[in-house]
Structure 1
Amino acid sequence: MKILISTDIEGVAGVTHAEQTRSGNPEYERARAWMTDEANAAIRGAFAGGASDVLVNDSHGGFRNLLLDRLDARAQTITGKPRYLGMMAGVEQDCDAVYMIGYHARAQTAGVLAHTINSLAFRSVRVNGTELGEAGLYGALAGEWGVPVALLSGDDVFLAETAPIFPGAIGVETKRAFGNAACTSLAPSRACALIEAAARAAVANVRALRAFTIAGPLECELTTQTPGQADLFCQWPQTRRIDGSTLRFGADSMQSLVRMLNCFSAMSFMLR
């Protein structure tokens, strides 16, 4: 059994402010250590549950956050960008299940640090009419390889959002949101204990799960934070402008759709 652990930072216990997610300050250094601890908890649990191999995908920001010298040596790490599969890189390496650790709710919800891919550029992302956050987008990408999501950790808003998408997956609540930058959090050590126990149990549950897929053809409706961003993204010939801040494009797969969104996210830095 091979497990892919995709790790983000906004859903990690104790993380509640944007400063903790950005490099170059002491708050980030503390948060990335907590992120590493939660990744290690998931690794320990996966191996204890019977996994033979574990891949860890560093999935936040520049994809260079985990403290590799502190990571469980039994796991291998996917780090750095760009990569075609982004937060789900590694799923193509014959994985049996995905664990989403430290994830967050989608944009425009009341979750802690809620956003979808790019908080400064994307207001909402809909695929075939259904609004999705990062978990839904990347869970559907994993589904193209037939790989189910077996474990999720983050705040209560995130778990409520993803429960209908990933039925049967185990959820670990690391904190309860009281807005974008306020929460009641577990102690990091308590969160790690719960993640480790859930990661162990999730291995035995994998065979009962079904991968999340979205039937094609796919159409993505992207609402940007400003009309200027839509101006920029509509330079791409495949896009169709719907209104001042909304555009649509088609895709032949979730991989193509996610790659387009990540290209738009990179393009948005021109306007900062």
Structure 2
Amino acid sequence: MKVYISADIEGVAGVVSPQQGQPGNAEYERARRLMTEEVNAAIAGAFEGGATEVLVNDSHGPMSNIIPELLDPRADLILGKPKPFNMAAGLTRDFAAVFLVGHHAAASNFGVLAHTTNSFAFREVRLAGRALGEPGIYGAYAGQLGVPVALVTGDDRLVEEARDLFPQAEAVCVKTALSNRAARQMAVEKARAAIAAGARQALANLRAMRPFTIPGPFVAEFVMNSPALADQGAVLPPARRQDATTLAFACADAAEAVGWMTALSAMSAVLR
């Protein structure tokens, strides 16, 4: 049984500030260690639950945050960017389950460091008229492959979003959001124990899991954070400008939506 882990940093216990997600400072070095250990907890729980193979995809920012020498050696690791399908790089139909570890709430929502893919670029992302964060967007891509999201870990706001998308999945809350940059944290050892237990339980209940899907074709809408960002994205020939900040793309499936989102995110760097 193969398990895929998409690992982010904002939903990790002990992480509350943008500085902790940006390389080049002591707080980031602490945060990446915390991230690595939460991923290790999910790996351990997966193997205890019957996994025969685990693949971890580093899915935050530079996508080279997880410390390889500290990672459980039973798991393989994808590092670096750009890469196909970004936060779902390496996911294929032969995986039994997806774990979303250290994830966060969607842009414009309550939650610790809530955003969608790129906090500079996107105010909201909608697929088929439904506002979604990274778990929903990449969960829909996994669903397109027939793979269910079986475990989600992060703050209480992320857990609330996930229950609506993946009602059968195990959800582990490691902190309660007090604001966008403050939270009541679970002790890190308790958080890791809860994640390991959640991973075991997720695989025990796997037969009840159903993939989250958004049937295509549909329209993906990207509400940019400024008209200038929409100006930039509107040069893409398939883009349809809906208003000053919103771009729409006709998509055959979730894979195409991920592709346009990744392209717009990369293009936004020109205006930073």
| TM-score tier after normalising by the smaller chain length | over 0.9
Equivalent pairs counted in the alignment come to: 272
Contact 1:177 1:184 in 2 (8 A): yes
1:84-163 equivalent positions in 2, closer than 5 A: 84-92=84-92, 94-163=94-163
Question: Cα RMSD (Å) of the superposition?
Answer: 0.8
Partner of 2:83: 83
Query: Does the residue aligned with 2:247 lie in a helix, a strand or coil?
Result: strand
**2:168 equivalent to 1:168:** yes
Partner of 1:268: 268
Cα deviation, residue 93, structure 1: 6.1
Q: What letter corresponds to residue 170 of structure 2 in structure 1?
A: I
**2:228 equivalent to 1:228:** yes
Q: What letter corresponds to residue 75 of structure 1 in structure 2?
A: A
Change (3 A) 1:25 1:93: farther
Unmatched 5+ stretches in structure 2: none
Q: What letter corresponds to residue 255 of structure 1 in structure 2?
A: A
Query: Does the residue aligned with 1:95 lie in a helix, a strand or coil?
Result: coil
What CA deviation, in whole Å up to 9, does each residue of 1:141-171 have, x standing for no partner?
0011100000000000011011011011000
**What is the identity percentage for the equivalent residue pairs of Structure 1 and Structure 2?**
51
Partner of 2:70: 70
**2:47 equivalent to 1:34:** no
Partner of 1:249: 249
TM-score by length of 1: 0.99
Distance 1:234 1:100 in 2: 32
Q: What letter corresponds to residue 206 of structure 1 in structure 2?
A: L
Query: Does the residue aligned with 2:112 lie in a helix, a strand or coil?
Result: coil
Partner of 1:6: 6
Distance 1:258 1:134 in 2: 10
Partner of 1:209: 209
Cα deviation, residue 19, structure 1: 0.3
Unmatched 5+ stretches in structure 1: none
Partner of 1:196: 196
Query: Does the residue aligned with 2:165 lie in a helix, a strand or coil?
Result: coil
Query: Does the residue aligned with 2:173 lie in a helix, a strand or coil?
Result: strand
Cα deviation, residue 80, structure 1: 1.0
Distance 1:228 1:252 in 2: 27
Contact 1:107 1:114 in 2 (8 A): yes
Cα deviation, residue 174, structure 1: 0.7
Cα deviation, residue 247, structure 1: 1.4
